[in-house]
Structure 1
Amino acid sequence: MTHRLAAQRLRNALQHLLILAGLALLLAVPGYLLAGAFGVAWAFGLVALTLYLGGRIPPRLALARANAGLLRRHQAPALYRVLDLLYRRAGIRAEPQLFYVPSADLNAFAVGDAREGGIALTDGLVRTLDLRQLAGVLAHEVSHLRHGDTRVMSMAATMTRLTIWGAFLVQLGLVLMLPMVLAGELRMPWLELLVVALAPSASTLLQLALSRNREFTADLEAAALTRDPLGLAGALQVLERRQGLWLSALLLGGRPPGWFRLLQTHPPTDERVRRLLALARLQPPRPSSPRPHRPDKGLVVNRPSPLGHRHWLGRRPGR
């Protein structure tokens, strides 16, 4: 199983590099059409500046938008015991931190990175999943922290936004050139116009592909950290049953069409569960529990109050 995990990680890393290279190439297209080689250099310089400045803001903004509160150890001792173990196995030396989001949605997300960050859990998620399933979800988010996925996806989103803006400027320039084209003084650059028109859509699709790929990688890492792929698989199945109801009601057929999956930031749940079940078959059988899995009501002893925008915007998540 170790060799299979290593091979899967290598394939995922190569896919990440290819996708990021594709995003960089698409970003270079409008920059080159606007100002040649200088435009390409200017575009990448703007990306570097945006990432440097934005890398310090998004974690705090995410917590502020979510109206989150800091969940301390005495308020969720069982969850912190699980998180301590996952941090040790992942080789993360920072102090684990959990954040509580007073929302009925079933969601969890990582903020920051391995050096300074944490994991936010919604009230709906804690009330719905049992401890084994929550351990799988926490391990998934620990993997995001370990590999700096928040930073990577921020970079991909920045590159996509700049590609869209660059394409808009090129199209605006072509519109201004239209009188000269009609007068016969210039030719209409059809090829350039086609490339610029397709670049934003292609960049968006690559960004979504990168997100899905990193979700697959986080699932793989979570299974390795917990040594229990079935825990995360069970959590995903619960989330699909609860959160997939709105989509089934929206689509009369009850199942989204194939093209719809291209626009999702996360991979299809059935594919993720299938991969986790395949990993579970490679492991020795886990002793069966004497009781059926049901949500553990006492995981959060005392729910913290939201800290508000002023708190999160005024300091880093860990302070």
Structure 2
Amino acid sequence: MNRPNPVSARHATYNRLQSVLLVTVLLGLCALAGYLLFGDTGIWVALGAGALALILEPAAAGRLTLALYGARPLAPEQAPQLWQMLTTLARRAQLPTTPALYYVPSPLINAFAVGRRTSSAIAVTGGLLQALDAHEIFGVLAHETAHIAHGDLRVMGLADSISRLTSLFALTAQIGLVLSLPAVFLGEVAINWLALLVLALSPQLALLAQLGLSRVREFDADRAAAELTGDPHALASALARIERTQRGWRAWLMPGWGNPEPSWLRTHPPTEERIARLLELSMHSPMHAWTAQPLASLPAWQLPSHARWRPGGIWR
């Protein structure tokens, strides 16, 4: 029986409270925008859209994402050790099924999860398989498995849908104002300028709350990945290597180029802060670290010789 980790428990409680608060703020902003525009009906529209997003979003968004990235299914015989890692992590995370594994022929170092607990997939890029060792890949897969186990994909899908609906309410109000300008100038229509200001600002406030929620879920997935692997250094090392690789030669020519935006405008927390939290967890004894041999069984993935940039930042 593993001893409770007080640091991990503290982070988990803090992250859950932040997530609940941010989702509540998002719903509140959307309901307020709906109410200012349509009255009580707008509130029900906002709540109904949130419920619909919880039911439909993960499956539909997952299929679309895999198709956009040109992801290919990876059979167990093609990458047996990757599947061994994923099966181990799914069992430790108590998932009902092992996520399907996909390969994205891209030089970018990336991995992402789609779907829900009962039907999910994890995609890894060729760049990630080439840049990281087995120890680090195990940490990255644990991070994505944690997203699935915690329902993060559903939560973020809900947040995205609510944010989009809030923007739609604001756009509707702006179009209505433009169409009403002649009547406003003639003094036939009175404008509630305070309500209009709130509607105009609501999409930006919703976006900030959505970005904050994304950062919190990343911290929580890092913590859970450390518990699943029993080795916080696995993910910390992967994050450090990814950061170094992505910055490349521009890091020393233009220090700080990689994170020019303020931290509250990022989808992910600063890498340094994520690594610091993982190292704080590493002071406790590992639970069940990965002990398999290096990924010698992985095929030598070849990136497409005709790789090109496509709209949306997708390499094919």
> Is the pair's TM-score, using the shorter chain for normalization, greater than 0.5?
yes
Deviation at 1:166, TM superposition (A): 0.4
Q: Structure 1 residue 113 and structure 2 residue 113: aligned?
A: no
Distance 1:228 1:198, change over 3 A: same
Q: Distance in 2 between matches of 1:252 and 1:271?
A: 18
- 1:48-87 matched pairs, under 5 angstroms: 48-87=51-90
Report the Cα offset of residue 48 of structure 1. 2.6
Note the C-alpha offset of 1:253.
5.3
Equivalent position SS for 1:72:
coil
* Structure 2 CA distance for partners of 1:165 and 1:115, relative to 1, 3 Å: same
Q: TM-score, normalised by structure 2?
A: 0.86
Contact 2:263–2:270 (CA under 8 A) maintained in structure 1: yes
Q: Which residue of 2 aligns with 1:298?
A: 296
Unaligned runs of 5+ in 2: 305-316
Residue identity in the other structure for 1:152: V
CA distance in 2, matches of 1:245, 1:305: 19
Gaps of 5+ in 1: 290-295, 307-319
Aligned to 1:97: 100
Check whether the contact 2:231–2:286 (CA below 8 A) recurs between aligned residues.
no
Higher relative contact order (CA 8 A, sep 6+): 1
CA 1:252–1:179: 2 relative to 1, 3 Å: farther
Paired residue for 1:265, among 250, 264, 267? 267
Cα displacement (A) at 1:182: 2.5
Corresponding pairs, count: 299
Q: 1:158-237 residue pairs with structure 2 within 5 A?
A: 158-237=161-240
Task: Tell me how far apart the structure 2 counterparts of residues 38 and 61 of structure 1 sit (CA, whole Å).
Answer: 31
Tell me by how many angstroms 1:170 deviates.
1.2
Aligned partners of 1:69 and 1:305 also within 8 Å: no
1:30 aligns with 2:37: no
The 1:299/1:271 distance shift into structure 2, 3 A limit, reads: farther
Tell whether the 8 Å contact from 1:208 to 1:265 is kept in structure 2 after alignment.
yes
Q: Which residue number in structure 2 is paired with residue 156 of structure 1?
A: 159
CA distance in structure 2 between the aligned counterparts of 1:304 and 1:252, rounded to whole angstroms:
32
Question: Which moved further from structure 2: 264-273 or 109-118?
Answer: 109-118
Would you say the 8 A contact 1:209–1:265 is kept in 2?
A: yes
1:254, distance to aligned residue in structure 2 (A): 3.8
Kindly state the Cα deviation for residue 68 of structure 1 after the two structures are TM-superposed: 1.2
Taking structure 1 as the reference length, the TM-score comes to 0.85
Cα root mean square deviation, aligned: 2.8
Q: Matches of 2:134 and 2:231 in 1, distance apart?
A: 12
Greater shift, 15-24 or 76-85, is seen at 76-85
Report deviation, 1:261.
2.3
The SS at the match of 2:102 is: strand
* Mapped contact 1:100–1:304 kept (Cα < 8 A): no
| 1:249 CA displacement | 8.2
- 1:282 is matched with 284
Q: Which amino acid letter does the alignment assign opposite residue 177 of structure 1?
A: S
Partner Cα separation in structure 1 for residue 177 and residue 228 of structure 2:
53
Q: 1:84 to 1:206 in 2, by over 3 A?
A: same
Q: What's the secondary structure of 2:98's corresponding residue? A: coil
Which amino acid in the other structure matches residue 107 of structure 1?
Answer: N
Mapped contact 2:230–2:287 kept (Cα < 8 A):
no
Whether the aligned pair in 2 keeps the contact of 1:127 and 1:297 (CA below 8 Å) is: no
Deviates more, 1:148-157 or 1:47-56: 47-56
Q: Distance in 2 between matches of 1:151 and 1:272?
A: 23
8 A Cα contact 1:30 1:170, kept in partner: no
* Aligned-partner Cα distance in 1 for 2:286–2:60: 44
Are 2:149 and 1:146 aligned?
Answer: yes
Deviation at 1:115, TM superposition (A): 1.1
- 1:250 positional shift: 9.5
Contact 1:71 1:304 (8 Å CA) reproduced: no
State the match for 2:314 in structure 1.
none
SS of equivalent to 2:117 = coil
Indicate the SS of the match to 2:113.
strand
Evaluate the alpha carbon distance shift between residue 182 and residue 43 of structure 1 in structure 2; reply closer, same or farther with a 3 A threshold.
same
The answer to whether the 8 Å contact 2:126/2:303 transfers is: no
**Deviation, structure 1 residue 247:** 7.0
